[in-house]
Amino acid sequence: LGRVHVLDDRSLRLESVVPEDEGEYSCEVDNAVGSLTASATLTVHSPPNIAARPEEVTVTAGETAVFQCGAQGKPSPTVFWTVEGSRVLLFPGESAGKFSSELTPEGLNQLTIQEVTRNDSGLGTVCNAVNSAGSDSWHARLTVTSGFHPPPVIELGPANQTLPLETEALFRCQVRGQPPPAVTWYKDHAPILQLHPRISVFDNGTLFIEDLQKADEGLYTCVATSEHGKATWSAKLRLESLRNSDIAFFKSPTLGALPGPPSRPLIVNIQRSSVTLSWSRHSQIGSSSLLGYQVELSGRPVEMRHGGSTGWVTVAHRVPGPTHALHHLLPNMTYMFLVRAENAHGFSPASPLSSPVTLPELDHDTPEELREAMSTLSAGHILELTSIFPISSTSIKLGWEILISDFVEGVYIYSRGLDVKAKTTNILTVLHAGDASGFIVTGLLPYTRYQFFLIPFYKHIDGRPSNSRTVRTLED
């Protein structure tokens, strides 16, 4: 191996050590008289890595919000949750008010927030993992909606058709929604009355017209209505004589000619005025090549508890790939999205609806300085806990180094007694820590193991934790 060298003094040197280098190493010497072997064990520590990252969570007011995360590292990292703007740390088995933390059967660390309110929307949660080699953290935000019920969805709408006179026409209007929406048909904006013997509306919403006459030409509109809003879809009917050889006749496509519905769009990124959606294509392409995807949204101000949605609005047409970023969205609005695939024969059925997402209100009161501090303190490793040793049965001396001094107003020292039944967390504040510093922590229990780590702060903004160290106080 290029990383392994035997030096002139016969010592072994390993460079750029990796976890796979762990193990027992033996040196053997021999001569004519005999041989001798000496062994040593190499243990490789690795900083934590939050492999199972917590995701953004959207729930309705009054419901329970659940975040999960899991971390790897050696030694096995200590994982805990913090809530932005709070000094509370939650280790597994601990609770504070409506916040609680526990381990799942799969070994993930779970944060539960009971009975969320609209005031909790925008709350930032942080999963932290620390061990002696370093730390890692991951942020996830809570969005609370006020029970946004989407308007009805027209699953499959009518298609433009050119048909011969005295034949029959079929206009689809398959709808979905809760409660089930009512379907009404209009011709040239006037309601269609089913009194005419040539016109029928089936239970699935399909409009059927037989023995087509020239007077049947026009614009046909399907309207799906419920207490949560309405959706509309229109198509034109053109009628010509079958003997007219200059006319290309086409009727409503079969379902097999259309693409299959895309998967449920996932919200993979949320900014103050934009969201990014991602979805998967269906295996059914249809009878012609895919032209792209159509993205539709429905939105409602969060303060409106009933109705008031925008209906479904097309915001992107013929998107080439299965991801799309939507910009210029309004703050303090709750949105839902759906996607349709398109080929030369028409549109696929609508995808399942996305989860609702509420864009945060614009925070005009956050100075640029605080935004920069938040970015700096959460971007990387700010602090390293370099030394820790007992100086008496009730006191410990800590030493640390500040790696990035920008926006470090002070340091919080966190300690946990590991040998006591109630593993309470204590916090000390050290202001104006400087480039490197230390502190003596007093009032500890004799001959007790403690875990320590540090968190830098600037005003009310906390940074990423330092590595952790474990130490035992002296005996009396």
| pLDDT above 90 as % of the chain | 59
Alpha-carbon dihedral sign for residues 434, 440, 444, 449: positive
Same domain, 374 and 467: yes
Question: Looking at the predicted structure, is the pLDDT value of residue 469 above 90?
Answer: yes
Let me know the angle formed at the C-alpha of 181 by 219 and 294, rounded to the nearest 5 degrees: 60
Range in 226-240, 325-339, 361-375 the model is least confident about: 361-375
What band does 362 get if pLDDT is binned at 50, 70 and 90? low
Same domain, 273 and 327: yes
292 occurs within a structural domain? yes
Q: Which of 193, 192, 150 is nearest to 175 (CA)?
A: 150
What is d(CA 471, CA 449) in angstroms, rounded to the nearest whole number? Answer: 6
Range in 150-159, 164-173, 221-230, 379-388 the model is least confident about: 379-388
What is d(CA 164, CA 344) in angstroms, rounded to the nearest whole number? Answer: 22
- Residue 305: its pLDDT value, please? 45
- Residue 48: its pLDDT value, please? 92
258 occurs within a structural domain? no
- Residue 306: its pLDDT value, please? 44
Mean pLDDT for the stretch of residues 297-323? 76
Tally of structural domains, the chain: 5
What is d(CA 346, CA 261) in angstroms, rounded to the nearest whole number? Answer: 12
Same domain, 59 and 110: yes
Same domain, 115 and 140: yes
235 occurs within a structural domain? yes
**What is 91-133 written as a DSSP string?**
-TT-EETTEEEEE-TTS-EEEEE-S--GGGTT-EEEEEEEETT
171 occurs within a structural domain? yes
What is d(CA 429, CA 446) in angstroms, rounded to the nearest whole number? Answer: 23
CATH number, domain at 325? 2.60.40.10
Same domain, 165 and 123: no
**Helix and strand totals (H; E) in the chain:** 1, 40
Q: Which of 204, 264, 201, 48 is nearest to 137 (CA)?
A: 48
What band does 310 get if pLDDT is binned at 50, 70 and 90? low
Alpha-carbon dihedral sign for residues 452, 456, 459, 462: negative
350 occurs within a structural domain? yes
Arithmetic mean of pLDDT over the chain: 88
257 occurs within a structural domain? no
User: 375: which DSSP letter?
Assistant: H
Same domain, 245 and 192: yes
| Beta pairing partners, 398 | 388, 439
Same domain, 21 and 55: no
327 occurs within a structural domain? yes
- Residue 268: its pLDDT value, please? 84
Same domain, 194 and 125: no
* CA dist list (Å): 91 to 45, 81, 468: 22, 7, 15
Residues in the chain: 476
Q: Count CB neighbours of 118 within 10 A.
A: 14
What is d(CA 231, CA 210) in angstroms, rounded to the nearest whole number? Answer: 26
Q: Which of 391, 394, 433 is nearest to 412 (CA)?
A: 433
| Beta pairing partners, 67 | 111
* CA dist list (Å): 266 to 121, 261, 296, 301: 19, 15, 14, 21
What is d(CA 17, CA 394) in angstroms, rounded to the nearest whole number? Answer: 37
Determine the structural domain holding residue 462 and report its residue range. Answer: 370-472
> Where is the domain boundary, 308, 336, 359?
359
* CA dist list (Å): 354 to 264, 298, 308, 360, 421: 6, 11, 19, 18, 45
Q: 432-456 pLDDT, tens per residue?
A: 655 658 899 999 999 999 999 999 9
219 occurs within a structural domain? yes
Range in 14-28, 115-129, 164-178, 351-365 the model is least confident about: 351-365
Q: Count CB neighbours of 128 within 10 A.
A: 25
Check residues 273 and 225 and name the one with the higher pLDDT.
Answer: 225
Check residues 207 and 421 and name the one with the higher pLDDT.
Answer: 207
Mean pLDDT for the stretch of residues 92-99? 92
pTM of the model: 0.57
Q: Count CB neighbours of 159 within 10 A.
A: 19
Burial class (CB in 10 A: 0-12, 13-18, 19+), 377: buried
Question: Looking at the predicted structure, is the pLDDT value of residue 371 above 70?
Answer: yes
Burial class (CB in 10 A: 0-12, 13-18, 19+), 203: exposed
- Residue 214: its pLDDT value, please? 94
Q: Count CB neighbours of 19 within 10 A.
A: 10
Same domain, 82 and 24: no
> Where is the domain boundary, 309, 340, 359?
359
| Beta pairing partners, 40 | 25
What is d(CA 399, CA 430) in angstroms, rounded to the nearest whole number? Answer: 12
Same domain, 36 and 57: no
Same domain, 309 and 376: no
Mean pLDDT for the stretch of residues 296-301? 84
Q: 183-210 pLDDT, tens per residue?
A: 999 999 999 977 788 999 999 999 999 9
Question: Looking at the predicted structure, is the pLDDT value of residue 307 above 50?
Answer: no
B/e letters for 216-236, b = 16+ CB within 10 Å, e = fewer, are: bbeebbbbbbbebbbbbbebe
Q: Are strands 229-240 and 161-164 parallel, antiparallel or unpaired?
A: parallel
295 in Cβ contact with 337 (< 8 Å) = yes
> Where is the domain boundary, 334, 359, 384?
359
Same domain, 19 and 72: no
- Residue 302: its pLDDT value, please? 53
Highest mean pLDDT of the ranges 242-256, 257-271, 364-378: 257-271
